[in-house]
Structure 1
Amino acid sequence: MAYPSQSNVSLPTSVTQSTQSLLNRRVSTEDSLYHICLTIRRRLELLPQIRPYINLAHASSELLSERQALLLSQKQQLSQQHRSVGSSISGTSGGHSAKHIYDRRISGASSNSYADDTEASSLSVEETVLTFSMGILPISMDCDPVTQLSHLFQQGSPLCIIFNAVKPQFKLPVVSSDDLKICKKSIYDFILACKNYFTFSDEELFTISDVFSNATDDFIKVLDVVTTLLDAAPQVFPPVQVEDVKWSNTEHGKIVREFVETERKYVCDLEVLNQYRNQLLQCGIISSDELYMLFPNLNDIIDFQRRFLISLEINGQVEPYKQRIGALFMHSKHFFKLYEPWSIGQNAAIDFISSSFDKMQGSDFVIANKLELQSFLLKPVQRLCKYPLLLKELIQQSAGSTNYKELEMAWEISKSTTRSINENQRRTENHEVVKKLYGRVVNWKGYRIAKFGELRYYDKVFISTGNPNEAEHEFEVYLFEKIIILFSELTQKKPNSISLKKKSSTNSASTLHLSGMNSATSTSGANPTEAKLDLRGRIMIVNLNKINPMDNRGLNITWESPKEQGNFVLKFKNEETRDNWHSCLQTLLRQIRNESLKSNNSNSDRSSFSSSTYYPHNSITSLSGIQSRRVSDVLPKHHGYQSFENEYRSISENYRASIPETTLLIRISFQNDFYTVLVEIGSGVENLLQMVRRKLTHAGNITKVKYQDEDGDYVMLESEEDWNVVKDMLKESNERILNVWAFA
């Protein structure tokens, strides 16, 4: 049976198993904690002296199940009140059980209110899991057998009765009491007797704390010892066979059976991983940080999934209309967050195995193959992605049933979990892509990639103006939070070019062109090659106007500035990728517009952004051979800024040369007038701002000072970090003059 390596009930560790036999090993009821406890309970029931204790354990575990259901009901009610969603819930008579109360409340719940629920309740998730099963039990089930056995052993005296039945010549005193100290004394007597009269080592035995623990790992230690004693006296505790549920041949029954059996296999695989992890830990082969990187939250995940499986198995025992599989997912929602570190670090774990597996081997290790270990590490994410498919099938077979709404809610939760996992992996991969992008681009032309925001998507995309007479050209396109950037791979071939349609505000036709090239091959953007890249163009997200999906996997994007507008078409490899980009661009644009509305100077801030699409080059060439033009000739300018730039260009080289090496010349534009101050390079931002205010004392209180960064954007200068960025920018461009704009 697949449990931790310290357990007697464990998987074989023979390395003679092939990769396929271990990965495809079938599991059955004998591998199920639920059925193991059913078997042990039936064997114990054969001893008349212990039956009253079993009945008492049933009553106490039933009460605990009721309490758990009530806590979950309260949590749901408080969450609904907090969000003001759904109808008010009327009270119930005192004669109803907690499960009945829950049933009535959940029937009025909104799927969105629960699927989007945050930790609104004052009850934590941990406080609501009091038994060894997740969520609430079906209406016809009083308690789960795992919790029942746990409460049986906590009484203490049943353990002594078991020992006396196996070793009657060394009888222990049996003292029945509800006094906790007396119960613990009986447990201690049992542990000591097992150590003295059996061959148990300290590592194989459990502790008193293990008996009262709510962790499945600790409970399994107790089960191992009890199972060993029962097997030592087959004449007293003969083996019994607990058959698996007789699954229905209906489509619904087949789906539930697949649900349960694949969950058993998954838990078994997790326990193989845990056994391998413990072997690595015991041998000290790799560091604790490396262990966590490989198996983050593994113990917590196994504990949760065992409880989840117990609940699934319980639901499999009852008729379809009594099953609460949907509710199980609803109450497991927050536990799925345990997988976040796993999804974030999975790529790093796979890379680590590829480079370091040689030192992670042992003659008796349960996993002895690199590919095998990588396959096991992928299983958690694969299982989470399987849940929406299974739930969707259940929904299709449950139309009109009383539990239909719960299944729909569970489906939404499982899809949300999968999206979150995929998003974590995407962000992790994108972080590595950005790191590589630093070195792949031959010339960043002064751009600072750190200012682009987070990378959202990247791909190789064909771009055109949408004109059927113009050719498409392939670029590597990177979508950041603030900007879209285009690159072409550097080759020895002479680059072609494409022209992107641009219209002025007076509707006169003009052309804005983008140098480009036709790639020889079309590969997936998911894993770009290490070829060097040439920066070909950009467009600020703030300047996007409309983003419309098109037929044939296209996405038509229109942009506009105060004086110009234009459009271009991105053509993706499939509609799913197109839709992902579309959704992301809409979200980014909506966020920028919301921020703009919150700004007191949203109109002026809007016009202050550099507002054309592609302009990183000193010259732009058209396909038709039109004479090259400077970028400043085709880009719109804010008139106030343009006049300042004209004034700026009039500075003589002699005057520039006269500026001391330790000083910067600050040129201030204020209401169409210009002022200058000299500032020591080593001074702070407050000193700079004070000098600007003193220079403009006659103008009143100066509230804002902005500068133009290397991207052409106008940025507020208000912190030491801003000032350091400015100095770095000037240093890189070997410039001694800073142009700023002051606002009263």
Structure 2
Amino acid sequence: MPSCLIESPQKPIQGQSLYHTCLSVLDRLALVNGFQQFLDSPVQKTQLLNTDPVTKLWNLCQLGTPLYTLFNALDPKEPLTLEYNHNLNQANNAKAIVYHFLVSCRKELDFAEEDLFGITDIFLDDTNGFVKVVNTITKILQILQDRGVISAKSPNRNSDPNAPKDTRDKIVLELLETERKYVQDMELLQASTKEHKIYIPYNILTKFFYVFIQSYMRELQIQKILSPDTVHYLFANLNALVDFQRRFLIQLEDIAEKPAQDQQLGLLFVQTEDAFIVYEPYCSNYYAAQDLVKEKAAELQKLDHVLSPTHQLLSMLIKPIQRICKYPLLMSSLLKSTNPSWQSYPQLIQGSEAIRRVAEKVNETQRKQENLQLVQDLKKRMDDWKGPPIDSHGALLLQEKLMVTVNDLDREHLILLFEKAILICKELKEGSKNRLTKTNTIMKKKRRASIQAKGTISVNRITHILNKSTASGGKYYSSSNSNSVQQFTLKFRNEEQLKQWEAVIDKTRMNIQSTSSSTPLLPTPSQSTSDKTSFIDSLDDDDDDESTKKFIRPIASSSSRLSELANIPLSLLLSSTSTSTSTSTSSASSGSSYFPPSLLSPVTLTGSQDTLKVKLTYNEGVYCIVTPHQIKFSDLMERVEKKIKIVANLKPNAVLRLKYRDEDGDHITISSDDDVQMAFESRGQNTVNLFVTL
């Protein structure tokens, strides 16, 4: 793994969180002469979860006078004397005391700027600044220890007195340790000087995401590699996210110190649910940040010794997204391993539900932002778009590359589900190059293939959704005249994906039915009577396979029928054009819909878990089918014959032979179940290439 050279102002406290660092500082301050009086009396009222050592130390520092006591313990030449200005209020007097403390540290102790903090770092409610305060106090305590003024020995408060006893303890420990990996040793990489350099392996840095990424962010600014605005666009509200994460860890550490039955972890998540909103702007900005990293890759190469911009930096930026998705899993495991009779159990249920809502909200925000970018990308890549503006279809809800089956022909298309329509597209090849996929490198993004719209289906024209993976048998049509209806089938990778699409489509249909009128979508001027191919036929037509074009079925040339169809959006034609006009008349008279019922096709959703895409080469044409991994030879041949005989217009009694190419380049005949498995084992990724002959 690569190592990273980062400059640090001081030696960090290894393995300690801010919570335990402050705990150690308080223990050592108790040894300073005259300091015990501040520790014995509360400095201000605190809430239940604010009795942690970080809050206690912070409150002491905001008084100002404890800092005088600490400084005078060094026996300086010019001790600090407490003088109140009666013209100032208590808060401003405290700030004046802190100011004189900082001046004396600079003068008497010769502290550099990076060893000190600013006055606002004490009084602002921001842990990013308070970490600097803790560093300064720790440095003074170290001087007292080196001079023998206080004892060098301090209690090891960071070690767990009891090892995990059961599964629940292990889960709590995992939650705590993984949380520490984000925020512990915040001082490690926060400043940059030329005096101290630390070599840190990259695999260690990934454990301290917030520490490292904040340092990286500052290095970009210090070296002026990127403008301040660009840095902001790249890291969004990272500082606010770090501040929240520190506070969350502080409370988590405090809870973990208590006995298992008294650990109110559920309450912590309930109380911080609203504060977790800080994740939303960061996560919604992630894809924009990702694009910015790619755009500024050349400039970011100046810090390539720290992080590779196109790999390591991107993997670091995604960590908060991964973390927010991890919380519900940890809470679910914790809930299962907790005794239901404990008083804290109901709170744990509430906490689990709270963080689940947080994760869902963040995911939804991120998904919406991603979809906005996808739509903008779609507009740029759309080839010869003649339909209505894409924005008129509403917000993009889902998008995926899926296998679409029409008339027993399988084609891979890009399916985009909008609020008002389903857009079916395909990526076009660029010359002889293969179409670009999600696996392409980021540097190829600017050369992504153009997209061609193959059809549009208005959501309010979908009458039924049939889940074929759970259907008991038979097909479900929207018309009693099943011969007049054509279906298209969407095939998904797994049941989870299928259910997601089914639920969203159904919800979208219900929303439209409850809020929209029955006024139909009118065709655009570009949609004229010169269109000679139905929507179904356009899906059958694969631009990549020239040999299939001769099998396209044209619309019937009846002048009266063609005139009627010209007033209907071509993209909605899901049935054959030979349907009798009487059906159209009855529908129009009802006034409920502009389109005849026979034109409203059900969308069939099919799960394709453990399936393979099989490319069949026949007479220089390539045709696709989808099969299970474990398919018998007889079943495979049945599918092959059904596909090839339809597209090639072969006689029913034509005998087809199937072959595959082995690693030596030889064509091997497939004639048994074992041969099928041998052919499938020769596949590339999830695609098998087979050859069909007569």
Q: Secondary structure at the match of 1:161?
A: helix
Distance in 2, matches of 1:265 and 1:585, equals 41
Q: Which residue of 2 aligns with 1:242?
A: 157
1:163 aligns to 2:71 (yes or no): yes
* Matching of residue 322 in structure 1 with residue 262 in structure 2: yes
Q: Tell me which amino acid in the other structure corresponds to 1:243.
A: N
What is the identity, as a one-letter code, of the residue corresponding to 1:372?
A: Q
Q: Is the 8 A contact 1:441 1:532 kept in 2?
A: yes
Contact kept, 8 Å, 1:324 with 1:403, in 2: the verdict is: yes
Which secondary structure does the structure 2 equivalent of 1:333 belong to? coil
Does the 8 Å CA contact 1:549/1:556 hold for their aligned counterparts? Answer: no
Among residues 606, 619, 628, which one is paired with 2:533 in the alignment?
A: 619
**3-state secondary structure, aligned to 1:312:** helix
Per-residue deviation, residues 451-496 of structure 1 (Å, max 9, x unmatched)? 122222222323346x8xx444433322111111223455799xxx
Whether the aligned pair in 1 keeps the contact of 2:403 and 2:490 (CA below 8 Å) is yes
Aligned equivalent of 2:110 = 199
Matching residue of 2:249:
309
Q: Hey, what's the Cα distance between the residues in 1 that align with 2:319 and 2:372?
A: 23
Of residues 251, 263, 271 in structure 1, which corresponds to 2:179? Answer: 263
2:62 and 2:122 in contact (8 A); partners too: yes
Aligned residue pairs total 509
For 1:567 and 1:456, locate their aligned partners in 2 and report how far apart those are by CA, in whole Å. 22
Q: CA separation in 1, counterparts of 2:377 and 2:300?
A: 29
1: distance between equivalents of 2:558 and 2:430?
26
Given the superposition, is the C-alpha separation of residues 39 and 464 from structure 1 closer, same or farther in structure 2, using an over 3 Å criterion?
Answer: same
1:105 matched to which residue of 2? none
Matches within 5 A, 1:252-401: 252-267=168-183, 268-360=208-300, 367=307, 371-400=311-340, 401=342
* Partner in structure 1 of residue 18 of structure 2: 33
Counterpart of 2:47 in structure 1 is: 65
Q: How does 1:553-592 map to 2 (within 5 A)?
A: 567-592=487-512
Change (3 A) 1:167 1:265: same
Task: Report what 2:344 is aligned to.
Answer: 403
1:49 corresponds to 2:34: yes
1:444 to 385, 390, 394: 385
User: Does the CA-based 8 Å contact 1:395-1:408 persist in structure 2?
Assistant: yes
Counting only pairs closer than 5 Å after superposition, residues 625-664 of structure 1 correspond to structure 2 as 628-629=555-556
1:164 and 1:298 map into 2 onto residues whose CA distance is 38
Q: CA deviation at 1:353?
A: 2.4
Is 2:225–2:299's contact at 8 Å kept on the other side of the alignment?
A: yes
| TM-score calculated relative to the size of structure 1 | 0.60
Separation in structure 1 between the aligned mates of residue 84 and residue 168 of structure 2, nearest angstrom:
47
Q: Distance in 2 between matches of 1:556 and 1:342?
A: 46
Give structure 2 stretches of 5+ with no counterpart.
1-5, 184-207, 541-550, 570-593, 595-694
Letter in 2 for 1:582: E
Distance 1:458 1:380 in 2: 24
Q: CA RMSD in A?
A: 4.3
Residue 553 of structure 1 and its aligned partner are, at CA, apart by: 11
TM-fit CA distance, 1:343: 1.7
Give 1:210's aligned residue.
121
Q: Which residue identity does 1:190 align to in structure 2?
A: F
- In 2, Cα distance between the equivalents of 1:55 and 1:632? 98
TM-score by length of 2: 0.64
Q: Which residue in 1 is equivalent to 2:417?
A: 479
Among 453, 468, 483, the alignment partner of 1:550 is: 468
* AA matched with 2:353: E
Q: In 2, Cα distance between the equivalents of 1:260 and 1:628?
A: 67
Is 1:423 the counterpart of 2:364? The answer is: yes
Q: Which among 537, 552, 560 is matched to residue 455 of structure 2? A: 537
SS at match of 2:274: helix
Residue 627 of structure 1 and its aligned partner are, at CA, apart by 6.2
Residue in 2 that maps onto 1:223: 134
- The one-letter amino acid paired with 1:316 is A
Q: Which amino acid aligns with 1:417?
A: V
Rounded Cα–Cα distance in structure 2 between residues aligned with 1:631 and 1:282: 74
- 1:160-179 Cα offsets, whole Å, 9 max, x none, are 11111113443222579995
Rounded to whole Å, the distance in 2 between the matches of 1:524 and 1:257 is 38
How high is the sequence identity, in percent, across the aligned residues? 29
For 2:501 and 2:248, the matched residues in 1 are separated by: 36
1:132-143 alignment to 2 at 5 Å? 136=49, 143=51
Q: Structure 2 vs 1, CA of residues 225 and 349 (structure 1 numbering), >3 Å: closer, same or farther?
A: same
Asked if the contact 1:544/1:558 (under 8 Å) is kept, the reply is: no
Alignment of 1:509-528 (within 5 A): none
What's the CA shift string for 1:234-286, capped at 9, x where partnerless?
A: 11233323332234221111111111111111123112111111121122221
Mapped partners of 1:289, 1:532: distance in 2: 32
1:7–1:220 Cα contact (<8 Å) kept = no
